């Protein structure tokens, strides 16, 4: 963390500095035509404004989660395994941030994925945890295959038709002289580049749990809450947005890709928020919130404001880690994640209650908390593009509607857990605050949740954003339009909080009437729009059916043919083997029989054939 902070401060003091250190890992000889100069696979580290910004997030949040774990995990078994996997997780994410080429990026990307598999399934004795780990691994594999295809397409395109000094000259590396990565090709009409951009979007959607590869993230809550905080704030899901950002800034997306990214981001922001409004599990509510907020970041990247998206990633990391660790304190104290069993915890858990409240205000976008500045930057940035890109309108409106839902569901969770006079389940143990190693990270993250958004007004911090993206990534100016959008956004947030208080405040529990037509909507939301059911059906019917068909062909056609021939040749060889008795008298009999046969041919058959031939 200290080194990460020093690197980030160095980038702030010397804006626009790029330090690229690399060596050739493997050189492959070329062939005439495609790669006449050969291909060099490069390993190196690239320190630039983007990586400096992400280093702040990864190392600071990672350190606080590690500190919090000392108190939260002290009663668990398997702690050496836990800390080894957590350390590897953070090391992999740090390597990903500092990679200077896509191949190295992909290696760390996969290492992040396997660490998430280990940690989500940390309680491997629980079938639900083992299942959730496998689900996360398999769903993200879909995105990873798409990402790898995108790498292949970019490599092929820039190695064969790329500009001088591109991949053809420098090997599998983004560096072009002293500038990082490749020249921007945004707006290019190349179908090949459009397909490559869509493949990159697929990889990011898997890692950052964007529609339709979102199903794994809520189930990932089976792991320890500290793991949830790390995955949702600083490591796994941040990797997908970071991939989109570096691709947007240093390679570029075509206009078709940008529309697809905007569509996925805007829709996911609203889609995930709708599922959070009804869920009874405190961790899953926050998980759906993560999917929704990542949608905002993806939306910003698609609209051409990658650094605004990373600015929201920066602020989001602190208040989302705060919300998860506060939820972890509640679970650690009373042993349940069910919001409807909680209540009245504000009196006995004042630090946790205040921390969750601050995180909720930041998430809801209430000024001056961190989420307000970055979320409104995204809305203002996308709005500025609507005139030239009218197709962005529906997704902008969905993202705007998600502001109201976000404020509602997070304060529904706060009122259910902390308001009222007592817990609704009398069998729960008496609530209490955790040890100081759990409270200190809550206090530090609460401070960041208040002030992190204000960093944008520090010239040195702005240097990270402005020099990392060029003119297209500058956050919008706070003019009349932006102020009007912010006013509407804050109004929606306050309305959402007000509705949550009216239904759930002071220990109230709102029960939807059984005959209400909204019951069917609630059922659909609780079942996550039946996406998981549909994917299970596809897996059981389609994939498993194909697998059984392949098994039949393998077992009965291929193996059957081989075994049938084996039996034929076995029978023939067995018959021939039986003829070999080893008795001299038998062999003498065979010789005599053979001689008799020859005499018959010579004395009877041969004259008959000759007479016939002569007669003809």
- CB-CB contact of 247 with 174 (8 Å): no
Mean pLDDT along residues 287-303:
93
Please tell me the number of Cα atoms within 13 Å of 429 on its side-chain side.
Answer: 10
Establish whether the linkage from the previous residue to 262 is cis, with ω within 30° of 0. Answer: no
Q: From CA 475, how far away is CA 380, in angstroms rounded?
A: 9
Q: pLDDT confidence of 147, banded at 50, 70, 90?
A: very high
Q: What is the pLDDT at residue 597?
A: 87
Q: What is the pLDDT at residue 179?
A: 32
Q: What is the pLDDT at residue 465?
A: 77
Mean pLDDT along residues 565-586:
83
Q: What is the tens place of the pLDDT at every residue in 522-565?
A: 889 888 898 888 888 888 888 888 998 999 999 888 988 888 88
Q: pLDDT confidence of 362, banded at 50, 70, 90?
A: very high
Q: What is the pLDDT at residue 133?
A: 93
Mean pLDDT along residues 409-422:
90
Q: What is the pLDDT at residue 289?
A: 93
Q: What is the pLDDT at residue 182?
A: 41
Q: What is the pLDDT at residue 272?
A: 94
Q: What is the pLDDT at residue 475?
A: 57
Nearest 10 degrees: Cα torsion 278, 281, 286, 287: -100
Q: What is the pLDDT at residue 265?
A: 95
The CA-atom distances, in angstroms, between 282 and each of 221, 225, 354, 578 are 10, 11, 16, 78
Q: What is the pLDDT at residue 240?
A: 92
Q: pLDDT confidence of 12, banded at 50, 70, 90?
A: confident
pLDDT over 70, % of the chain: 90
Q: What is the pLDDT at residue 176?
A: 33
The chain-wide mean pLDDT, for the chain, equals 85
Please give the angle made by the CA atoms of 292, 328 and 348, to the nearest 5 degrees.
120
Q: What is the pLDDT at residue 428?
A: 82
Mean pLDDT along residues 100-122:
90
Mean pLDDT along residues 338-353:
89
Establish whether the linkage from the previous residue to 431 is cis, with ω within 30° of 0. Answer: no
Q: pLDDT confidence of 116, banded at 50, 70, 90?
A: very high
Q: Of 98-112, 229-243, 314-328, 587-601, give the range with the top mean pLDDT.
A: 314-328
**Buried (b) or exposed (e) across 493-502, using 16+ Cβ within 10 A?**
beebbeebbe
Q: Is the pLDDT of residue 80 over 80?
A: yes
Q: What is the pLDDT at residue 177?
A: 32
Mean pLDDT along residues 329-341:
89
pLDDT over 90, % of the chain: 40
Beta pairing partners, 24: 42
Q: pLDDT confidence of 489, banded at 50, 70, 90?
A: very high
Q: Is the pLDDT of residue 185 over 60?
A: no
Q: From CA 110, how far away is CA 113, in angstroms rounded?
A: 5
- CB-CB contact of 395 with 264 (8 Å): no
Lowest mean pLDDT among 11-25, 29-43, 97-111: 29-43
Q: What is the pLDDT at residue 422?
A: 81
Mean pLDDT along residues 118-131:
91
The continuous run of DSSP H or E covering 19 comes out as strand 19-28
Q: pLDDT confidence of 285, banded at 50, 70, 90?
A: very high
Mean pLDDT along residues 280-284:
91
Q: pLDDT confidence of 33, banded at 50, 70, 90?
A: low
Q: Is the pLDDT of residue 59 over 80?
A: yes
Mean pLDDT along residues 409-414:
94
Q: pLDDT confidence of 477, banded at 50, 70, 90?
A: low
Q: What is the tens place of the pLDDT at every residue in 94-107?
A: 999 998 878 888 99
């Amino acid at each position: 963390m200290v080194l990460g902070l020093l690197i980030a401060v160095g980038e702030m003091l010397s804006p626009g500095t790029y330090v690229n250190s690399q060596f050739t890992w493997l050189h492959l000889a070329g062939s005439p035509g495609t790669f006449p100069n050969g291909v060099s696979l490069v390993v190196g580290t690239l320190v630039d404004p983007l990586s400096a910004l992400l280093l702040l997030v990864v190392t600071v949040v990672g350190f606080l989660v590690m500190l919090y774990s000392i108190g939260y995990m002290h009663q668990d078994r398997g702690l050496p395994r836990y800390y080894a996997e957590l350390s590897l997780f953070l090391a992999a994410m740090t390597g990903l941030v500092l990679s200077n080429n896509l191949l190295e990026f992909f290696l760390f990307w996969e290492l992040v994925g396997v660490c998430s598999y280990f940690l989500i399934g940390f309680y491997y004795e629980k079938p639900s945890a083992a299942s959730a780990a496998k689900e996360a691994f398999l769903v993200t594999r879909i995105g990873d295959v798409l990402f790898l295809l995108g790498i292949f397409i970019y490599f092929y395109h820039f190695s064969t038709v790329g500009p001088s000094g591109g991949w053809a000259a420098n090997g599998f590396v983004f560096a072009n002289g002293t500038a990082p990565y490749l020249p921007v090709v945004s707006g290019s009409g190349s179908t090949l580049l459009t397909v490559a951009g869509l493949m990159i979007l697929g990889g990011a959607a898997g890692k950052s749990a964007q529609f339709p590869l979102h199903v794994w993230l809520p189930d990932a809550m089976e792991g320890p809450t500290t793991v949830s905080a790390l995955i949702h704030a600083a490591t796994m899901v941040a990797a997908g947005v970071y991939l989109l950002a570096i691709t947007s800034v240093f390679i570029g997306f075509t206009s078709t890709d940008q529309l697809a990214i905007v569509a996925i981001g805007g829709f996911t922001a609203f889609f995930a928020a709708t599922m959070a409004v009804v869920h009874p599990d405190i961790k899953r509510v926050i998980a759906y919130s993560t999917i929704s907020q990542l949608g905002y970041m993806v939306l910003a990247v698609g609209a051409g404001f990658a650094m605004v998206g990373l600015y929201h990633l920066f602020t989001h990391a602190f208040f989302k880690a705060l919300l998860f660790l506060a939820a972890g304190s509640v679970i650690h104290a009373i042993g349940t994640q069910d919001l409807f069993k909680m209540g009245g915890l504000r009196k006995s858990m004042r630090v946790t209650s205040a921390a969750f409240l601050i995180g909720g205000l930041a998430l809801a976008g209430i000024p001056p908390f961190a989420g307000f500045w970055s979320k409104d930057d995204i809305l203002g940035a996308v709005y500025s593009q609507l005139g030239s890109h009218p197709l962005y309108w529906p997704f902008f409106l969905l993202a705007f509607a998600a502001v109201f839902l976000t404020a509602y569901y997070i304060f529904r969770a706060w009122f259910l857990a902390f308001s009222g006079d007592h817990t609704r389940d009398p069998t729960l143990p008496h609530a209490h605050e955790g040890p100081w190693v759990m409270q200190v990270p809550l206090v530090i993250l609460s401070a960041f949740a208040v002030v992190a958004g204000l960093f944008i007004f520090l010239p040195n911090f702005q240097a990270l954003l402005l020099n990392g993206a060029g003119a297209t990534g500058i956050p919008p100016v706070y003019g009349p339009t932006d102020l009007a959008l912010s006013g509407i956004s804050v109004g929606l947030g306050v309305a959402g909080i007000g509705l949550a208080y009216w239904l759930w405040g002071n220990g109230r529990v709102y029960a939807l009437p059984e005959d209400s037509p909204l019951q069917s909507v609630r059922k659909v939301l609780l079942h996550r729009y039946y996406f998981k059911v549909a994917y299970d059906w596809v897996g059981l019917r389609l994939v498993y059916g194909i697998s059984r068909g392949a098994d039949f062909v393998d077992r009965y056609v291929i193996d059957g043919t081989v075994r049938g021939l084996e039996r034929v040749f076995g029978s023939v060889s067995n018959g021939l083997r039986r003829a070999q008795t080893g008795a001299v008298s038998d062999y003498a009999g065979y010789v005599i029989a053979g001689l008799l046969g020859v005499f018959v041919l010579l004395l009877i058959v041969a004259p008959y054939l000759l007479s016939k031939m002569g007669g003809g």
